[in-house]
Structure 1
Amino acid sequence: MDKEVAIKIGGEAGFGIKVSGLILGKTLFNAGFKVFGYSEYPSLIRGGHNTYQLNTAKNDVFSVTKKIDILVALNQESLELHGQELNNGGVVIHDGLDIKDIKDIKDIKDININLMDLAEKAGGALTRNIVALGAVMNILGMDLQLFNQELEREFGDKGVKVVAMDKKAARLGYDYLKKFKIGAYLKKEAGSKAGDYIMTANEATAQGMIQAGCKLYAAYPMTPATSIMHVLSAKQCDHHLVVHQTEDEISAIGTAIGAAAVGVRAATGTSGGGFALMVETLGLAAITETPLVIIESQRTAPATGLPTWTEQGDLQFMIRASPGEFPRFVIAPGDALEAFYMIQEAFNLAEKFQLPVIFLLDKLLSESDFVLENIEQHKVKIKREGFINDNELERMRDYKRYELTKNGISKRALPGQLAGVHVINSDEHDEYGYSTEASDMRTKMMDKRFKKLEQMMAEAPEPQLYGPRNADLTVVAWGSVKGAVIDALREIGDKYSVNFLHLTYIWPFPAKRVKKVLESAKNVLLVENNKTGQLADLIRQETGFELKNRFLKYDGRPFFREEVIKEIKKYI
């Protein structure tokens, strides 16, 4: 890999830690560097310790590292919590803090700047972070003009005076570092942007929903899914989209089902606790065969758990949720670009098969900043299908909404079509939608819904195998673990023979493909962000293959790249 630099900004909540980090990230992105941004913050209304970590390089970066090169410590707590994360030769920027706990780090570069004094000279204490970022730009060896351009984009709506004050603050921090004569951490290059956009997976999901033709999003705010609603709300007038904040999650899924029942592409979103409230109504979408997309962004649980931290603890819940049995899709993208494309596919699949599709994110994906490049806006063809038109209804004269068909999919008439009147009923029903308790019709309707499974499995893309076909070790993971594993494999390069099986379309389970890969593997390692190895249990259930080597993490933090590399080396 080309030189990669890890920068962490730490300070008290409410002082613009993430905004500052993202400004720096966008500056580097616009200069041609790839970035990955990761934030940590407590579940507090006000206060607490926040960090934003930015990993940047000329090559792709998809994950966060445990060790860092530059620490901007805006308070003593940041030094105490993160000082030992500095690499040998690392830089710490602070304002008169006690650095005794990190003096043992070899060749540490202590940059003591009177940030508050410089901020006051610039025009106000609120520019303290900008002073520090100006210093970071000097350390990186970057042209300050690039940073100034990003300040204009970020704060231009606040007026000329604010932008001028921020630029002055950045210049003061930048110039102050000249006397330290620290070599540039990045090779200064003039280049175009490193991709098309910087986005979180939540932002990419929202953009994909618009692309898919979603016209109603109903939700109740719940971290880490909330920002999807924020993005869509800001764009609803431009795209004829209704965003409705309901009084609770039960109302949210009910509203979405109601909209979908009349032909609107609709979705709802929440986290695990909110989804638990939706479970009974999820069954309503299933038995009425109503297309519905449910976005569930995982956080730690049970109960409130750690509301602002990440985990992959809901996989089995998504597959089994709701009383009774019915087919569904469970899709778990591994990064923001996959989220953009796969949410579009989710709407297509929901409508084609007339069932719920659960779109599974987590806090790491929802709130981390990814570089998206080579986006194909029309890669996913948006297909509106399954409807019956008025002419067909007139010829039919005996419309059956739940007609028993060979593939289990029956044509949908919508309210307002005169010859398409039918009942949408939460009870078991006959072909017209009328309630029935007849044993033979119950069996036929259950079989009808499950007839869709064969075609569903044929439609779902297979898991992707990264790396050589024949390797000494096969890593298996799903969803957000992708980034850490991909970066780990790139970092170890040709030193070790490792490949990676990544699952995204998890249910219906791609048993044939998974079994083929695992049975031909020399050794297998599961990497999963939960306590019990839920994917491993699912693989055993569906294929009979036992994954004995399991690297599990469940402390609320994602996998750091070094951890994955260390674990891989144990099995080679």
Structure 2
Amino acid sequence: MNIQALQEGFRFASSSGFEEDAGPLGLANVEADERILISGNHAAAIGFLAAGIRFFAGYPITPATEILEMMNRHIGSFGGVSIQAEDELAAVNLALGASLTGVRSLVATSGPGISLMQEGIGHAGAAEIPLVIIDAQRAGPSTGMPTKSEQSDIGMIVHGSTGDFPRIVLAPGNPSDAFELAVEAANLAQRIQGPVYLMLDQSVSQDSATTAPFDLSRVVIDEGARLTQEQLDALDEYHRYAVTPTGLSPLAVPGMPGGMSLVTGNEHDEWGKVSTNPSNRVAMMDKRARKVETVKDSLPSGLRFGHETSPIGIIGIGMESGVIREAVERLSVAGILLAGLQPRTIWPVPTDTLEFIASKEHVYVVEHNHEAQLVQVLASVGAPIDRLTSIHRYDGVAFTPHDLVTAIASQETP
């Protein structure tokens, strides 16, 4: 119908005497790059399929449902399985079981679902099971406002569940980021043998944007410390949770000859046997923590923009990424220069984020939640709190560039 309407428009123009170059408006002929129109949810789903995710479990919930629908429709073409579970508790445990068999596994939900999944995610951390979790954030708490954007799950994602265990949190700012970081998340889950979050928000999840087609030839599959049968046969004895300098232990898929081990959410020794021995407890906790330190320097770095040498900085993630860039451009025209950073790794907080903050006299942190949760995370790892100025809202409405220009100009104009 759209094409038919366009053709009718051409016919009307011709019949009215508006031939080429004769109309009231002149349009230059330009070479158009190939572009696609896609949402963050769909881009992430494509990234995960390209990165070898072959098991998905989920339960319908706004704004993550499109991922479930995408996986239901397409994962079977790649030899994978997608299950719409009865609830989020079932979904995360189905994914843990699939991951134990050696299959790259993914769950996707929103804040209320993450709350229900916390015990299962903690199990992935304790038993060192690779798992990728998408949190498409929405306004909370509880049911909240399901169709409104917020970034109020940051604290829960970074520190949620019982006890201490390593996890990685990545945050894309647009569909292109969502594809790239989905691939990274799938590989990182294997590399740290534990949970990795892809933290979206309603705007990034469901808003569509034009972007260059994804380059599938650049996707690399990293299996981490997964053993081949030949490598397993060469071991004198297989210790699933062997204490190593990197914290990463050899991983054999159950059923491989010589690769038997126990899997439990209890604290355990190198064979997986339950243990409450104090020295073993310390050794295992420290071993698990070292895994993230081992990969920390290779985590996705932030994207810089604006005026690098300015003493004033601005930081934003997810839905804030585009609006802070435009605000920086507008402020520059007004003579207020800012250096910008869009962190893409939220946890562990990367060195480049801390160095950016340390290089500035003060930094505006733009986020959508009541408690300035991103500021709290940054301060918790040593970012000087007196340099961080929070610009935050929690009414379900996105910032406009004008909002940020007004807020910052009022602070920076004498």
TM-score (norm 2): 0.91
CA root-mean-square deviation: 2.3
Deviation at 1:168, TM superposition (A): 9.2
* Residue equivalent to 2:398: 558
> Separation in 1 of the partners of 2:86 and 2:73?
20
Alignment of 1:490-569 (within 5 A): 490-494=329-333, 495-510=335-350, 512-546=351-385, 547-569=387-409
Give the aligned residue type for 1:500. G
Deviation at 1:186, TM superposition (A): 8.5
> What's the CA shift string for 1:343-392, capped at 9, x where partnerless?
10001111011010011001001110111116332334221231112222
Contact 1:196-1:375 within 8 A present in 2 as well: no
* Residue equivalent to 1:188: 27
Contact 2:168-2:347 within 8 A present in 1 as well: yes
Give the aligned residue type for 2:174. D
Alpha-carbon spacing, 1:449–1:255, altered in 2? closer, same or farther (3 Å): same
> Separation in 2 of the partners of 1:186 and 1:409?
64
Alpha-carbon spacing, 1:447–1:569, altered in 2? closer, same or farther (3 Å): same
Alignment of 1:114-513 (within 5 A): 151=2, 167=5, 188-191=27-30, 193=32, 195-373=34-212, 375-494=214-333, 495-510=335-350, 512-513=351-352
Residue aligned with 1:285, SS: helix
Alpha-carbon spacing, 1:226–1:387, altered in 2? closer, same or farther (3 Å): same
Calculate percent identity across the aligned residue pairs.
30
> Separation in 2 of the partners of 1:349 and 1:436?
28
Deviation at 1:544, TM superposition (A): 4.2
> What's the CA shift string for 1:467-494, capped at 9, x where partnerless?
2221152112222200101122234444
Deviation at 1:170, TM superposition (A): 7.5
Deviation at 1:418, TM superposition (A): 1.4
Deviation at 1:458, TM superposition (A): 1.5
Deviation at 1:299, TM superposition (A): 0.3
Residue aligned with 2:63, SS: coil
Residue aligned with 2:216, SS: coil
Residue aligned with 1:256, SS: helix
* Residue equivalent to 2:20: none
Alpha-carbon spacing, 1:516–1:241, altered in 2? closer, same or farther (3 Å): same
Contact 1:195-1:374 within 8 A present in 2 as well: yes
TM-score (norm 1): 0.67
Alpha-carbon spacing, 1:411–1:185, altered in 2? closer, same or farther (3 Å): farther
* Residue equivalent to 1:41: none
Alpha-carbon spacing, 1:206–1:169, altered in 2? closer, same or farther (3 Å): same
Alpha-carbon spacing, 1:411–1:192, altered in 2? closer, same or farther (3 Å): same
> Separation in 2 of the partners of 1:393 and 1:462?
35
Contact 2:172-2:200 within 8 A present in 1 as well: yes
Give the aligned residue type for 2:310. A
Alpha-carbon spacing, 1:170–1:257, altered in 2? closer, same or farther (3 Å): farther
> What's the CA shift string for 1:45-84, capped at 9, x where partnerless?
xxxxxxxxxxxxxxxxxxxxxxxxxxxxxxxxxxxxxxxx
**Which ranges in structure 2 are unaligned for 5 or more consecutive residues?**
17-22
Deviation at 1:169, TM superposition (A): 11
> Separation in 1 of the partners of 2:123 and 2:376?
28
Alpha-carbon spacing, 1:372–1:391, altered in 2? closer, same or farther (3 Å): same
Deviation at 1:202, TM superposition (A): 0.3
Report 1 or 2 for greater relative contact order, CA contacts < 8 Å, sequence distance ≥ 6.
2
> What's the CA shift string for 1:186-239, capped at 9, x where partnerless?
963444555421111001001101110110110001100010111222212322
Alpha-carbon spacing, 1:386–1:493, altered in 2? closer, same or farther (3 Å): same
Contact 2:306-2:329 within 8 A present in 1 as well: no
Alpha-carbon spacing, 1:548–1:523, altered in 2? closer, same or farther (3 Å): closer
Bigger CA radius of gyration: 1
Give the aligned residue type for 1:325. D
Give the aligned residue type for 2:149. T
> What's the CA shift string for 1:13-60, capped at 9, x where partnerless?
xxxxxxxxxxxxxxxxxxxxxxxxxxxxxxxxxxxxxxxxxxxxxxxx
